[in-house]
Structure 1
Amino acid sequence: MQAIDTVYDRGVALTGAGDVANYAALAAASVTAGQFKTCLAAGLFKLGFSASGTVTADVKGDATDGYLVRTADIVRWALRHRTVLSDADDLDVASFDQVNTDQPAPIDYFLGPDENLTVAAFIQAIMAGIGGWGGHRLDGIFEVQIFAAPTGEPVASFTRDDMIVDISREPLPDAYRPPRWRWRVPYQRCWTVQTDLAEGVTAAHKAFVAEPYRLAEATSSTIQLDHPFAQDRDPVQAYFSEASDAAAEAARLINLFKTTRAIYRMSLPRRALRREMGNVIRVTHPRFDLRSGRPMRIVEWGVKLQFNGAGVDTVEIAAYG
């Protein structure tokens, strides 16, 4: 482990008494009452007395590859140490670097010893916390991305002439319509909520352990004006360490979804196989509001290939724009 900063007994902070090299040394160590001694190499600590109640700790966890705090770095750690994927042959390293650049905020995540979380679910949880995802491309390479508005130069263009089945338009999922007028994003999670605290615990610590997280928020009176039924939904699931980073993410989300957009679904020819999730494409069509062309971000695709030549190969793409 990187560090065990503080240990608490019913919310009372104990005093650190140093670190030892291994479990045997920790077991043999004498620890004074009111103190704790650590063995970071084994991820353990020892008290100098019998605890009077719930014991908790402020911990900086796994340091196998150095202590990691950025989301993309933690995902890469999980793939490297908990799957059969090879780093870097099976990873789109550039996508990890890009997510680190776009979202370098430190996060905190605790996985209890009795939990049975898969690597896929773990990656989904922490990537969703920064508005992103991770998954395999068509060529089997694993990538990570953050969902953003369709901006920048499109990597491909498609028109009505390209479409095997005509385009359709779908509303956004129920979670995004009507749009939220307020986004709330958690930070500084308390993984053990406590009310049974000893005398003398500071008011600040009592307030911290009384709630599972703090909340940063961003609001928009314009959205409330434009959308009379705008929603104020539950906080998103996020794991930011700092209030400023949670506030920045709340502002990003409210700006991302305040513009009215939809999902456009189309069946395209084989050349669309070169496109990946998250790519920005330009779609031009006489229907809907696409006559002048609109940039869209690919959010879903499926493939139907006929290897015996008996049918038409199609790539169905759903894009946000």
Structure 2
Amino acid sequence: MAMAYLVEIDAYVPAAWITGADGVGLLADPGTALATEPRVETLRFSSGLGFMSRPDDRPPNAYYEPRVSVPFNFERLIFTDGTSAGAADTGYGEIELVNPDGELDFLAECGLDGRQVRLLHGDEAGPLADFELVFVGTVTQPEFSWRRVVLPVRDRAEELRKAIQQNVYAGSNQGPAGVEGTADDLKDKGKPLTFGRCRNVPATCVNGSTLVFQIHDGPVAAIPAVYDRGLAMAATTDYPTVAALTAAAFAAGQYATCLAMGLFRLWSRPDGAVTADVDGDATGGVLAGSVAAVIRRIALTRAGLAEADMDRAAFEALEAANPALVGYFQDGGSKAEINDVFDALCASIGAWWCFDRLGRLTVGRLEAPAGEPLATLTPVELLDSGDGLEILPAHDLADGTPVYRVSLDYQRNWSRQDDNDLAGGVADERRAWLAEDLRTVAATDASIRAVHLLAPELTVETLLDDAEAARAEADRLLALHGAARLRLVLPVKCEYARGLDLGNVIAVRIARFGLSGGRLFVVIGMTEEYETGRVTLEVVG
């Protein structure tokens, strides 16, 4: 049985190539009519001698041109090297197509960057339906030489390297009418975003005539407090529409809300900075408050992903592991990208995010490995190039020495104010809170320094809101990073890594480093070389 790789690439193709301007007609499946307008086409290539789908396949009679030289090399890490939370290291690799005849030169005129690529593997004599979908990712700009075309491939995280906020104020207010600001103040400035529970966020005045302020571009769950120079105002009524909010009558020192639009209104002109406590985005009538829930909400409402793009089981598992409230806010001047927001959220609970092989957004949390391993690796499965196994530092800091103390920051003040910013009636306790950006809890185990004299302190900045949740996470991180860990690089044959993915638990049993009886590890990195049939696993345990 001869195996083949199939590559499918979505491409924006100019009309001249679709209509076969040079008489070649490269893009048409046999027997199909050529289009005359530019459109997105699926380009198909194969390894080996080429492949034709069967009449009853979907799509039928589709020809995969024999151009694939190097089917796929791909590397992914759950975390940026040297860290253990948050910052996913985007997967990258390449597919190489042979082009000695120049028939693929047309790709230089196609729009490939940002388009989806799919890699399939199966019996070249079998039906297309029997091919296994190995990977779904994104192509960047192709690289050309005289004899080949190299397609740089990224996982779908590349799609999230865009600003989380695309909406801006129109600047279209007409006196008391409108909540879009004017050409003189807000026009073309971004709208604020609030997810989860955020405290003391700076409010944006969207109509100076009616004293309407905005704290989120969309519906919010609650605005439990509004402050003028640090003094709390009295809440009144929530109104369903902007018109109702604008027409409402109440008293000085009070505020009314339109939660459906992320707005509130004051009756009297404020003396200074206006801030608010907010339970943020409530799309669908539900507050997204945990790390898992906020990432999912952003993915579905801001990143352009659909339910089918989500690893639902993974999100449910992370929610169960840590449902604690977090908060993320950005004002209209922020250009934060979605991937960076996901990193900050995940770093709050020692979690990670990435796209799996099938292009689904997935999440997990780094924990000490436990449970039944998906695979057991011994010297039989491991490939030894002569230098043995590579051992890397296992912890976040320096040389991987276990930490003796974890300091964890939480409950961010999104608008720090000193005494000069505050009204005279603000209580001392409130003043102290407003003067600091963050609160801090710490977990310490001095006994670790009795063994490791150079044991360092780990400092973690989070978006957690609650003190107890922060303390629990600090304790968890100390237990995880205060213990001696082993981080290995394990080269194996492809067949022994089949079915493994990032976050999976495996066992390693070798006659070194205390592993003769077997030990559990978590897969945190994978380098897959489909041409050589080699997979290099990076694991920690």
What SS is found at the alignment partner of 1:295? strand
Give the match for residue 292 of structure 2.
72
Q: Does 1:181 align with 2:404?
A: yes
> In structure 1, which of residues 43, 57, 61 is the aligned counterpart of residue 280 of structure 2?
61
From 302, 312, 319, the equivalent of 1:93 is: 312
Check if 1:319 corresponds to 2:527: no
- Matched residue of 2:261: which SS? coil
**For 2:527, which of 277, 302, 306 is the aligned residue?**
302
Deviation at 1:75, TM superposition (A): 1.2
1:283 alignment partner, one of 485, 508, 526: 508
Counterparts of residues 1-321 of structure 1 (less than 5 Å)? 1-65=220-284, 66-87=286-307, 89-165=308-384, 166-172=388-394, 175=397, 177-195=400-418, 196-233=421-458, 235-271=459-495, 272-306=497-531, 312-321=532-541
Task: Tell me the amino acid that sits aligned with residue 84 of structure 1.
Answer: G
Alpha-carbon distance, 1:193 to partner: 0.7
CA distance in 2, matches of 1:211, 1:11: 14
Residue 224 of structure 1: SS of its match in structure 2?
helix
Q: Equivalent residue of 1:199, what SS?
A: coil
Once the two structures are superposed, what CA deviation does each residue of 1:51-80 show, in whole Å capped at 9, x if it has no partner?
Answer: 211111111111113112121111111111
Q: Distance in 1 between matches of 2:367 and 2:329?
A: 27
- Could you tell me which runs of 5 or more consecutive residues in structure 2 were left unpaired when the two chains were aligned: 1-219
Once the two structures are aligned, what percentage of the paired residues are identical? 34
Taking the aligned partners of 1:174 and 1:104, their CA distance within structure 2 comes to 24
Deviations 1:58-109 (A, max 9, x none): 111111131121211111111111223221x222211111111111112222
AA aligned opposite 1:267: P
> More deviation in 246-255 or 89-98?
89-98
- Cα deviation digits, residues 188-240 of structure 1 (max 9, x gap): 2211110121101012211211111211211001112111112124x312122
Secondary structure at the aligned position of 1:150 is classed as coil
More helix by share: 1
- Per mean C-alpha deviation after superposition, the further-off stretch among 211-220 and 160-169 is 160-169
Letter in structure 2 aligned against 1:45: F
Task: Give TM-score scaled by structure 1 length.
Answer: 0.92
Mapped partners of 1:171, 1:242: distance in 2: 32
Task: Count how many residue pairs are aligned between Structure 1 and Structure 2.
Answer: 314
Q: Specify the alignment match of 1:309 in structure 2.
A: none
Distance 2:395 2:323 in 1: 28
Please, what TM-score do these two structures have when normalized by structure 2? 0.56
Indicate the larger mover: 278-287 or 193-202: 278-287
CA contact under 8 A between 2:233 and 2:255: conserved in structure 1?
yes
Residue 4 (structure 1) shift:
1.1
Q: Please tell me the root mean square deviation across aligned C-alpha atoms, in Å.
A: 1.7
Matched AA of 1:230: A
Q: Is residue 80–residue 86 contact of structure 1 (8 Å, CA) maintained in 2?
A: yes
Q: 1:130: how far off?
A: 0.6
d(CA) in 1 for partners of 2:506 and 2:271? 61
2:392 and 2:248 map into 1 onto residues whose CA distance is 65
Letter in 2 for 1:250: A
Distance across 2 between alignment mates of 1:43 and 1:119:
21
Aligned equivalents of 1:273, 1:114: Cα separation in 2:
46
Unmatched 5+ residue regions in structure 1? 307-311
Structure with a larger share of its residues in strand = 2
Measure, in 1, the Cα distance between the counterparts of 2:406 and 2:396.
Answer: 15
